Amino acid sequence: MADFIAQPPAPRIRLGMVGGGQGAFIGGVHRMAARLDGHFNLVAGALSSTPEKALASGQELGLAADRIYTSFEDMARRESERVDGIEAVSIVTPNHMHFAAAEAFLNRRVSVICDKPVTNTLTEAKRLHDIASRSGASFILTHNYSGYPMIRQAREMVANGELGAVRVVQAQYAQGWLSERVEQSGAKQAEWRTDPARAGAGGSIGDIGTHAYHLAAFVTGLKAESLAADLTTFVPGRTLDDNAHILLRYKGGARGMIWTSQVAVGKENDLRLAVHGEEGSLEWAQEDPNKLWHTPQAESTRLVTRGGPAAGESATRVTRIPAGHPEGYLEGFATIYSEAAAIIRARQNGVPVSPDVLAPTTEDGIAGVAFIEACVQSSQRDAAWVRL
């Protein structure tokens, strides 16, 4: 189990955070994920652009007074001047601020752990990729679902050929929380996610569709060649899509389908993936993440469990506790942080990153934004096929 978690975490990596002040959601998740395995110490933060809120948020987290900032530029500059300055920063703002913040830190060789989608436009995503490539620092995109052990397991099984050539990929990410116009009634998470200025061109496709799209690629290793998308906005007064039906054609002939919805009443985070190959199938659901269903051709379906007898090396590597004691979302998220730690330390130590380490990069970020833009373009052309 989880050797990489048992590796000496001391000394911890000094971490800063941009965004994530009081009232935010995902910032707290990043902090728990960063704490769980003990690889990071949060020591600085530009948690809010409102000074009082930045201060209160930082104090609550125990940050030293001189390391509570009100702008990321400030934090980037002053931390890079300290001997004990941050080595990495988590960017957990709304999408439109990712680019500038990431650029500021990368340019000062501070590694970046950034929420997805990476940027609001493909142009920015590509520029950020270039910046990161030249920076001498690392960039990790928190497509956190790829941290689930059973997703690693699925990826390994596909890569090992246990499914044969993949034919069909079915993915969905359905939520119901935007089935009414909650962005009008003070739901902060809904406000920015439904606002093109902050969320970008994609509504459900950006917020959750990119996760489904990334997961399908992560598990199957397939490259999407083209897509046809039918985006819908069901809730009156909303601008961005809150439901999308997307057809996919992969290089080599596999076909796929993604359904994203934020108006599916009763759905919490129903992210699912099914992969059907010539020799077998896999099915996985995020809300029950410790289980992977595997059917070899002409045999009974097996329940592959995290930590169980069929778990392979790549799943075991990111498993903290034995089978039957469920690991959840925070553990999967923490795995991305621990992978980030491994990447950052490898760079600091001048050694190559172990090939076992799997963490999404700016390339995944580019793919995600390209997916959003292609969906929008296709939908504007009545769901015509658009090349990726």
Q: Shortest distance, CB of residue 263 to its own copies, whole angstroms?
A: 6
What single letter denotes the amino acid at residue 321?
I
Complex with its own copies: residue 127 or 255, whichever CB lies closer: 255
Complex with its own copies: residue 198 or 255, whichever CB lies closer: 255
Token duo for residue 234: 């069901």
Q: Where are the beta strands (DSSP E) in 134-254?
A: 139-141, 166-174, 224-232, 243-250
Q: Shortest distance, CB of residue 8 to its own copies, whole angstroms?
A: 5
Q: How far apart are CA 348 and CA 21, in angstroms?
A: 29
Complex with its own copies: residue 106 or 263, whichever CB lies closer: 263
Complex with its own copies: residue 15 or 128, whichever CB lies closer: 15
Question: Could you tell me which residues are beta bridge partners of residue 387?
Answer: 226
Q: How far apart are CA 145 and CA 284, in angstroms?
A: 11
What's the alpha-carbon Rg for the chain, to the nearest Å?
Answer: 20
Q: How far apart are CA 3 and CA 27, in angstroms?
A: 27
Q: Shortest distance, CB of residue 281 to its own copies, whole angstroms?
A: 4
Complex with its own copies: residue 190 or 369, whichever CB lies closer: 190
Q: Shortest distance, CB of residue 243 to its own copies, whole angstroms?
A: 6
**Coil, helix or strand at residue 156:** helix
Token duo for residue 15: 């971490």
Complex with its own copies: residue 94 or 332, whichever CB lies closer: 332
Q: How far apart are CA 373 and CA 376, in angstroms?
A: 5
Complex with its own copies: residue 167 or 347, whichever CB lies closer: 167
Q: Shortest distance, CB of residue 30 to its own copies, whole angstroms?
A: 11
Complex with its own copies: residue 12 or 126, whichever CB lies closer: 12
Distances (CA, A) of 308 to 60, 162, 212, 316: 40, 18, 26, 9
Q: Shortest distance, CB of residue 362 to its own copies, whole angstroms?
A: 25
What single letter denotes the amino acid at residue 110?
V
Q: Shortest distance, CB of residue 297 to its own copies, whole angstroms?
A: 5
Residue 371 CB coordination number (10 Å): 28
What single letter denotes the amino acid at residue 335?
T
Q: Shortest distance, CB of residue 95 to its own copies, whole angstroms?
A: 19
Q: Shortest distance, CB of residue 111 to its own copies, whole angstroms?
A: 20
Complex with its own copies: residue 73 or 230, whichever CB lies closer: 230
Q: How far apart are CA 24 and CA 13, in angstroms?
A: 24
Question: Could you tell me which residues are beta bridge partners of residue 171?
Answer: 258, 273
Full DSSP string of 82-122: STT--SEEEE-S-GGGHHHHHHHHHTTT-EEEEPSSS-SSH
Q: Which residue has the tokens 């099915």?
A: 283
